[in-house]
A and B are shown apart, each in its own frame.
Chain A
Amino acid sequence: MTGAPRRAQNPPVFRWLNDKILQAIDRRRDASAIVRVRLQGDRLAFEDRLGHRRELGLADIRRVVAVRAEAYAGDETLLLLQAPDDAVIPVAASCDGWNELRDALDRLPGVVPSARWHARLLGAAVGEPLEVWPAPDAAAGTAAPR
């Protein structure tokens, strides 16, 4: 987590109900947002709101794209990880373990460092993708801009 809020506006019972409703919606659509990511050795373990887990080896990641996504009031940083079978795992910055994931991705060879893509993402438009890995300049064999 990037920092827990000190005070909530809505009462806890409302947030508890929200969680239950979101879980019910997720069950119906058979898809859920990822709420937790852990680094276990050289593998990333993802867990969604319904408690389902999947693992992905760091070496198995084919592509990483960072993007700012709309979050109604504000926007949220997303990392889209592409698995070998082309499946996409979207991980939001509010996800527990985000910092761990960011540090783990920094270890990929030739990756755009998180300090750089994060800072560039702040100035990017919502929905504008930034290639994190493989680095766009790595293929061209040029030095990284900025």
Chain B
Amino acid sequence: MGGASLPGPLDGPQRGSQWIDDGTLSRSRTPPPGPVRTREAPAPDAAADDARYWYSPAYKVAVDVPFAVAPGMTWDAFWRLVYDNANAALQKQADLMLESGRISAAEARQLVDGRNELLLRIRRRLSPFGELYSEILKPARSLKSFEEFMAHKGTIEGVLRSVGKTRAVVDRIGVVSRVAGPASIVLEITLTAVVIQQAAPEQRNRVAAREIGGAAGSVAGGLAGMWAGCAGAASLASPTLVVPLWGEVSTGGACLVGGLLGGLGVGWFGRQLGAAAGEGAYDASTQMSDFRWVMP
């Protein structure tokens, strides 16, 4: 590799504690001639290079960003599925009892109370966003004064229309969450494993600490961001928020959109913080492992 460096000693103008005068050279061994890279680790061949970097940063971002909201949405979708299955069994039982005409008041009450209790138990197990959103979905009326009561009185048909609209929106969320949520989690786990596996051996533990810390930070930030985003947007949309070209935004709709945006945004910051914390923890632990007690 001619021209890569000037001939002469590899060290600087100082040999031990002695400075070397300008215009003189130190008497020391020069490295044997040959390609510069023979002094380093063998260069990976082209095929290995391709295998190492087969994912792009854009792909990683595309997987990392939605992962922030995936665990929360998947968790809630799981509980929704549990409820749907239990409710289907209760419905079947009620239909059979009604068809046979042998249902007593106590039996009917037991069935209904069982379902209501199940709903309350499931609601307590939702993500913080899910718990808040389910409360916001409840129909609300003003009892403050007679005038306001009348202003918000609505009609039974109006409430029924609102219930129908909410059902359509939540059904779509349920379908998307059940499919996209687990898919995002699987992609994230796979990509994290690949990034760790592809890291240089001496950097692998550090990369693992950074990636796992980042994923944990993303989940924590996503959960907190969804809850805060829902709360913030729902407050902004109360009593109503009119968005140009969109129209009036309901409190429930604002909570949902705010929750998703908040989860993605705060989740991303959480990932950065988690990654930094992971690396910091790794550095601290490796420094600690170098520590030795000195015997007097």
Contacts and interface: CB of A to CB of B under 8 A. Distances in A.
Interface of A: 1-10, 14-15, 18, 21-22, 24-26, 28-34, 46-48, 50, 52-54, 63, 65, 67, 69-78, 80, 82-83, 85-90, 92-94, 98, 113-116, 118-123, 126-127, 129, 146
Contact of B128 (A6, A14, A89, A123): A14
B104 interface: yes
B124 A75 contact: no
Given A29-B251, A86-B153, A86-B155, 12 more contacts: A6-B121, A18-B132, A26-B140, A28-B238, A32-B142, A52-B144, A70-B167, A90-B141, A90-B159, A114-B105, A120-B98, A123-B95
A85 B135 CA distance: 27
Given A29-B239, A94-B119, A115-B108, A8 B133 contact: no
6 A-B pairs closest in CB distance: A87-B153, A28-B238, A115-B105, A3-B117, A29-B238, A115-B108
Contact of B120 (A2, A34, A63, A119): A2
A36 B118 CA distance: 20
A69 B166 CA distance: 8
A88 B116 CA distance: 22
Interface of B: 76, 79-80, 83-84, 87, 90-91, 94-95, 97-98, 101, 103-109, 111-113, 115-126, 128, 130-144, 148-150, 152-156, 158-160, 163-164, 166-167, 170, 227, 231, 234-235, 238-239, 251
A34 B152 CA distance: 14
A54 B143 contact: yes
Contacts of B235: 21, 24-25, 28
Given A15-B131, A33-B135, A54-B149, A89 B141 contact: yes
Given A87-B149, A127-B163, A34 B141 contact: yes
Nearest to B255: A25
A140 B239 CA distance: 42
Contact of A122 (B94, B133, B166): B94
B105 A67 contact: no
Given A87-B150, A118-B111, A73 B83 contact: yes
A73 B143 contact: no
A46 to B, nearest CB: 6
B138 A77 contact: no
A69 B234 contact: no
A36 B238 CA distance: 23
A68 to B, nearest CB: 8
A115 B143 contact: no
A36 to B, nearest CB: 11
Contacts of A24: 235
Contacts of B119: 71, 74-76, 93-94
Contacts of B122: 73-74
A72 B80 contact: yes
B170 A70 contact: yes
B170 A72 contact: yes
Contact of A126 (B126, B167, B231): B167
Contacts of A127: 160, 163-164, 167
Contacts of B95: 122-123
A18 B156 contact: no
Given A69-B166, A70-B170, A119-B108, A33 B123 contact: no
A77 B142 contact: no
Nearest to B166: A70
Contacts of A29: 140, 238-239, 251
Contacts of A80: 156, 159-160
B132 to A, nearest CB: 5
A48 B133 contact: no
B76 A72 contact: yes
